[in-house]
Amino acid sequence: MGQSATGQKVLAGLTMSVDGYITGPDDGPGAGLGLGGERLHYWVFGGPWSYTQPPAGSATGADKEYLDRTFGGAGAWLVGRAMYEAAEGWGDDPGFGVPVFVVTHHPHPTVVKGDTTFEFVTDGAEAALARARAAAGDRNVIVMGGANLLGQYLNAGAVDELTVSVAPVLLGAGKRMFDGSLRAGLALEQAGVIESPFVTHLRYRLTSQRET
């Protein structure tokens, strides 16, 4: 998939439990992140919440700084169809403010919600990345997930920086962040650690893109 010739970067990140899950069991449309999965994202909303008692707050402290920096530098986002559906399109006004490209096998008309446009790309992750890069200009492209899409971009050598946000949670089951399908030759260099009461953000730069 190659690297951009501009100052643009492709940044990727997911939140996982200490035992390596990015959702709880039985996630999906109508069930969000599955049983207990909302505990992964306490950091996004400044404290505990549940699907029966939706979040009333927002990120604070170091978590807010991290989100503000990520959103502030973003020119486009990439997300898989399963994540889009599990999040139910992030409600009536997602607030991304830039195009979001949804990688899917199923055609779907463009969706506009508030200041966010969701475009559905059916010709693969590489095509979606090309469109996101073009839309972002000299700003960054953010790979939101899920795990399958993240793995495709890591294997293709397209990711410049990866953030693994580890929540102090044990889920026991669900979807794993890494399933053993990553290719050999991917090397990481530590780029920083950001801690809060709800999560530890582990930041890495990809330093080796060797093809196998």
> Cα(105)–Cα(2) distance, rounded to whole angstroms?
23
pLDDT score for 54: 83
pLDDT score for 209: 54
Q: What is the 3-state secondary structure (H, E, C) of 41-109?
A: HHHHCCCCCCCCCCCCCCCCHHHHHHHHHHHHCEEEEEEEHHHHHHCHHHCCCCCCCCCEEEECCCCCC
The mean per-residue pLDDT over the stretch 168-197 comes to 93
Give pTM, 2 decimals.
Answer: 0.91
Q: To which residue do tokens 């490209």 refer?
A: 101
> Cα(43)–Cα(7) distance, rounded to whole angstroms?
29
Task: Give the three-state DSSP class for 113.
Answer: strand
- Please report which confidence band the pLDDT of residue 181 belongs to, taking 50, 70 and 90 as the band edges: confident
- Please report which confidence band the pLDDT of residue 210 belongs to, taking 50, 70 and 90 as the band edges: very low
The mean per-residue pLDDT over the stretch 14-19 comes to 97
- Using CB atoms within 10 Å of the CB of residue 145, give its burial: 0 to 12 exposed, 13 to 18 middle, 19+ buried: buried
- Please report which confidence band the pLDDT of residue 185 belongs to, taking 50, 70 and 90 as the band edges: confident
Task: Give the three-state DSSP class for 205.
Answer: strand
- Please report which confidence band the pLDDT of residue 211 belongs to, taking 50, 70 and 90 as the band edges: very low
Specify whether the CB–CB gap between 179 and 147 falls below 8 A.
yes
The mean per-residue pLDDT over the stretch 93-99 comes to 92
User: What confidence tens digit (pLDDT) does each residue in 141-160 have?
Assistant: 999 989 999 999 999 999 99
Tokens, residue 65? 């700084």
Angle between helices 125-136 and 147-155 (to 10 degrees): 80
**pLDDT surpassing 70 at residue 176:** yes
Q: Which domains are delineated in the chain?
A: 10-209 (3.40.430.10)
User: What confidence tens digit (pLDDT) does each residue in 66-84 have?
Assistant: 999 998 999 999 999 999 9
